[in-house]
Amino acid sequence: MWEDILRKGAKSKMTQHAKNLVDEVMDETPRNVREILDLMYKKLEEKNRSKREDTNKKDFIRTGKNLIPTSSELHRYLVRNYQSIRISKITGERVNNNSGERHYFR
């Protein structure tokens, strides 16, 4: 798995499934990349749980290999497709300089 990630390098692109999952979890609430990845994992778990209940197969688990992007892939996708603001880590308020953490929203 790590060899695949290193082989893809900076030119890697997110799969369409991953883009759809990002679009499902994004809303008007500003979130950083880590929060978005956490929401994607939770959404994937919910889908797995409902799929297992529907099929009654205990061993059915949908992996996130093509569904969860790396943080750099996600960052590139968000920069191109969503609005962003910078929020201070200390005060939690919006800042206009580069000292804050970037948060994305619809």
Per-residue pLDDT tens over the stretch 39-93: 999 998 888 777 666 665 555 555 666 678 889 999 999 999 999 999 998 999 9
- Listed by start position, the domains of the chain span 12-105
Place 15 in a pLDDT band, splitting at 50, 70 and 90: confident
Tokens 């996130």 label which residue? 64
Alpha carbon of residue 97 to chain centroid = 25
pTM value is 0.77
Q: 3-class DSSP state for residue 32?
A: coil
pLDDT at 23: 95
Distance CA 33, CA 104 (A): 8
